[in-house]
Amino acid sequence: MRTQNILFWQAQGGAVIRQAAWELVLEYWQANKLDPDELRFSRSVTSVRRA
């Protein structure tokens, strides 16, 4: 069964794997009743300098 799971996920590709991982994060967050706003980026750009 483990081998089948590995083969399945390898066949899916990176984008599908990342989407599934993100869904697991969201499910965990909701199950533990955590603030969903904590999952957002919270930094703002104050200035941009050219290197």
Do the Cβ atoms of 25 and 39 come closer than 8 Å? yes
**Which residues touch 33 (CB under 8 Å, ≥6 apart)?**
none
Q: pLDDT tens string for the chain (51 positions)?
A: 999 999 999 999 999 999 999 999 999 988 998 887 888 776 677 778 887
Task: List the structure tokens of 19.
Answer: 């989407």
Sequence spans of domains, the chain: 2-37
Q: What's the pLDDT score for residue 47?
A: 77
Q: What's the pLDDT score for residue 3?
A: 95
DSSP state of 46: -
29: buried, middle or exposed (CB in 10 Å: 19+, 13-18, 0-12)?
A: middle
- What H or E segment, with its residue span, contains residue 9? helix 2-12
